[in-house]
């Protein structure tokens, strides 16, 4: 650990259990998927300190974490959760078309082009 409670970003992501390995954390930073206080992290050796806000994209999700403390080891999940405060936005509510699938009679086969256009018109009316 460096002076003033600073720590390498790849090491901190590994300790906070954002990724499974430190090499994956380095790849995440190298591909530009991690921002430290709105600035892209250029290298895995960039330092984070308590108070920094990290914005990451992982598995089609956007995570916003505020660094609370530097990590000492990769411990259990409960210990990892004490390293950050989750500021991530709530997931978007699912739309009506996602919740209810159009009903078709069993055995009626695939919809015709005319039926698909009618279904599309119904969905676009919202």
Summarised one tens digit per residue, pLDDT across range 78-110 is 999 999 999 998 876 666 555 566 676 777 788
**How buried is 59 (Cβ within 10 angstroms: 0-12 exposed, 13-18 middle, 19+ buried)?**
exposed
pLDDT, tens digit, 9 for 90 and up, residues 14-39: 999 999 999 999 999 999 999 999 99
User: What is the DSSP secondary structure assignment for residue 84, as one 8-state letter?
Assistant: E
| Predicted model pTM | 0.70
Domains (range + CATH), the chain: 3-86 (3.10.290.10)
Could you give the dihedral angle defined by the CA atoms of residues 101, 58, 27 and 25, in that order, rounded to the nearest 10 degrees?
Answer: -140
User: What is the percent of the chain with per-residue pLDDT over 90, rounded to a whole number?
Assistant: 64
pLDDT value for 30: 94
């Amino acid at each position: 650990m460096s002076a003033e409670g600073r720590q390498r970003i790849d090491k901190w992501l590994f300790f906070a259990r954002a990724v499974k390995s430190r090499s994956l954390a380095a790849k995440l930073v190298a591909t530009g998927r991690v921002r430290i206080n709105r600035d892209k992290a250029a290298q895995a050796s960039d330092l984070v300190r308590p108070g920094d806000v990290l914005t990451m994209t992982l598995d089609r999700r956007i995570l916003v974490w505020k660094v609370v403390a530097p990590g000492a080891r990769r411990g259990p999940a409960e210990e990892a959760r004490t390293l950050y405060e989750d500021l991530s936005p709530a997931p978007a509510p699912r739309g009506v078309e996602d919740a209810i699938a159009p009903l078709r009679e069993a055995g009626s086969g695939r919809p015709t082009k005319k039926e698909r256009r009618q279904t599309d018109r119904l969905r676009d009316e919202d």
